[in-house]
Amino acid sequence: MFLSPDFRHSRRLVRLGLVASIAVSVLAGGCAGHFGQRGDDATGATVTPSAAPRPQLCLPESPASPAAPLATDAVTRMLAYADRVRRLAPAELSQEVIRLGDAAGPTQQLQLALALSQLHQLSELLRAQELLGRVLANADTEAQTLHPLAGMLAARYGEQRRVEEQLEKQTQQTRDMQRRLDQTNERLEALKAIERSLTSRPPAASVPAPGNRGTRPPAP
């Protein structure tokens, strides 16, 4: 059965219309995906745009405090001085203590405390702790830069002081024990001397009986 030309032409137009509608739908979906969500979508629902990220404010960095490098330099110089004092001979160390004398400023007081601590004497260690207390009690800028180091040294010297006191106590106990031992040895030597004097004496001569005095022996 043959179809008329008009019928075939009508079917062709229908097919072209379907293809065109499909193409329009595809293009519409692609445009929506490309441009993102705008005011309204195809269904008429209102789409709220996502909030844009807030720009981060770049705050200017505050300049470093001028006291920080000053404190670092002061502590560095003091540590170098402590290392130098630690290497001094006993005579040179005594001269350094004399040179510092009655330190007035916080820097000199801390230096004198470091020098006194190297003498390894309990009395000088107590003096060093007193100097550190003066530095810590001083509120001047020069002293405040040295407060962290002075506090650390004060704690260290406190521990060293306890060790020195314990060592001094043990030394005194050893001296007392040695003194008692010497006294015991002296007494023992005295007893030995008395014993030797008794054994070295000659035996005493025999004495005649009292009844035989003035009697003559019988004649033969």
pLDDT digits (tens, 9 = 90+) for 25-79: 544 555 444 444 444 444 444 444 455 555 554 444 555 555 566 668 888 999 9
Each domain of the chain, given as residue ranges in start order, spans 68-164
Q: How far apart are CA 209 and CA 194, in angstroms?
A: 32
pLDDT at residue 11, rounded to an integer? 55
Signed CA dihedral, 133, 137, 143, 147: sign only: positive
pTM above 0.75, yes or no: no
pLDDT of amino acid 121: 87
- Distance, in Å, from the CA atom of 213 to the CA atom of 131, rounded to the nearest integer, reads 95
Instruction: Report residues of the chain scoring pLDDT below 70.
Output: 1-71, 201-220
Q: Check residue 77 and give its pLDDT.
A: 92
